[in-house]
Amino acid sequence: MTSFVRFQGTTRSPRGHFPGVFALANGLARDGRLSAAEYRFWRESNDWYDAAYPDPSAGDPGVYDPVLNPGAVAWFKSTARHLIDRVPGYLAVLAAHGVPCVRVESANPGRIVYEDDVQVVVVPWGPDRGV
């Protein structure tokens, strides 16, 4: 059975889920909190990820819809080593800004609403739906 990996913050967002590593880094960039070197890393890395795998919402605009798929979040497939191996750079940027992030693994993180060869988007199981 495939296992899944997610890197996420430790504080719930206003939507009730734990934001992923990319959303957390994007928030720092959007707020202008990154140094010039961090910004360069963030921009280049986001561009690399954008080219390396599909955006689930490009194929299904409703995949993250809070009514259709409440609490939907993306997880890497554990076999997507080339994607997972680049995450530590993001973790370093987040740590430098005091933003805690944890690695979570699961064989069954929720109801799959999107899947490709490197990731799934799931609606977490149970009433908590917070992952």
Please indicate, yes or no, if residue 60 is contained in any of the structural domains. Answer: yes
Lateral strand order in the sheet of 119-124: 101-106, 4-9, 73-77, 119-124, 110-115
Place of tokens 């191996």: 85
What is the average per-residue pLDDT within 81-97? 98
Domain count across the chain: 1
Query: Taking the model in full, what pTM does it have?
Result: 0.91
Answer for the pair 69, 63: CB distance below 8 angstroms, yes or no.
Answer: yes
> Does 130 map to a domain?
no
pLDDT digits (tens, 9 = 90+) for 19-61: 999 999 999 999 999 999 999 999 999 999 999 999 999 989 9
Domain-embedded: residue 118? yes
23's CB contacts (< 8 A; 6+ apart) are: 13
DSSP secondary structure string, 109-122?
-EEEEEE-SSEEEE
- Please indicate, yes or no, if residue 26 is contained in any of the structural domains: yes
Instruction: Answer whether residue 57 is part of any domain.
Output: yes
- Domain range for 97 is 4-124
In-domain check, residue 131: no
Displacement of CA 4 from its chain's centroid (Å):
12
**Is residue 103 situated within a structural domain?**
yes
